[in-house]
Structure 1
Amino acid sequence: MRRACLVMLVLTLSGCYLDPYAPAPKPGPTDWYQAGWDDAMAGDPIRSDLVLAHVHNDDEVDRQEWLRGYAKGQQRICDPDFLKVQGSAGKSFPQSCEKLPDTEALRATWQTATDAGIKASRLN
């Protein structure tokens, strides 16, 4: 009886074995619009197709969709009101806002909010 229990235990545990060299399962196709939105909202700069393929683990980059999503995310994160919140929270100025025509004004808005946030934290 004891031997049968031991055999059952070994068989049960061996069924849970995971081969560390097995390839990772491939996820579904990348939503390039969402990937662009996420990259802009993370403050990432515009990337090359090679970098996008590597970061998102998908060799079939749809650059146009990624750029559309990036532009929408950039509109959101580079909004002056959003930058005020980011600055007062101590977040860094997003790189996704660096190439816009009004970058200096946006950076000034962010810097003012950052300074006010630092001052408020010192008073507390």
Structure 2
Amino acid sequence: MRFIVTSLLCLLLTACQIDPYTHQPTWTGTDWFDAGKEDAMNGVAVKSNQSLAANFNDPKVDRSEYLSGYKEGQEKICQENFVYAWGLAGRIFPASCDTADNNSKLREAWQHGMKEGTQASRLN
């Protein structure tokens, strides 16, 4: 009986061994398009190549892909109703909209949202 329990325990313990190289992730590189899109949608200004290389630990910055993604993110965020909501929430004007074509209208919408948000917080 003791032999069966011991052998069963040894079998159980050896079955739990994990090969550390089996599930090793593969490095695919940085998706510069997504990095640019993410920066724009977070309201961040365009970053330099040196800053991007340091942030992503990838010296091969694809500037054109980053700027393409940034432009797409900028198109999504730089809309009057969106920046109005940012102002209403008390967030600063997104730096990614500073270079937008309709910058003055966006700033007006954001300022209107800031004003309304401030008034609403005073009433509460």
Q: Which amino acid aligns with 1:94?
A: P
Q: Name the structure 2 match of 1:91.
A: 91
TM-score in terms of structure 1 length? 0.74
**How many residues matched?**
100
Q: Name the structure 2 match of 1:113.
A: 113
The answer to whether residue 49 in structure 2 is matched with residue 45 in structure 1 is no
The change in CA–CA distance for 1:49 and 1:26 in structure 2 (over 3 A counts) is: farther
TM-score in terms of structure 2 length? 0.74
Q: Which amino acid aligns with 2:115?
A: D
The structure with the largest alpha-carbon Rg is 2
Q: Name the structure 2 match of 1:61.
A: 61
Moved over 3 A (4+): 25-28
> 5+ unaligned residues in a row in structure 1: which ranges?
1-24
Deviations for 1:72-104, whole angstroms, at most 9, x for unmatched residues?
A: 111111111111111101111011111223212
RMSD: 1.7
Shift in Å, 1:28 = 3.6
Give the whole-Å Cα distance in 2 for the aligned partners of 1:111 and 1:76: 19
Q: Which amino acid aligns with 2:107?
A: R
Q: Name the structure 2 match of 1:78.
A: 78
> 5+ unaligned residues in a row in structure 2: which ranges?
1-24
Q: Which amino acid aligns with 1:87?
A: G
Identity of aligned residues (%): 44
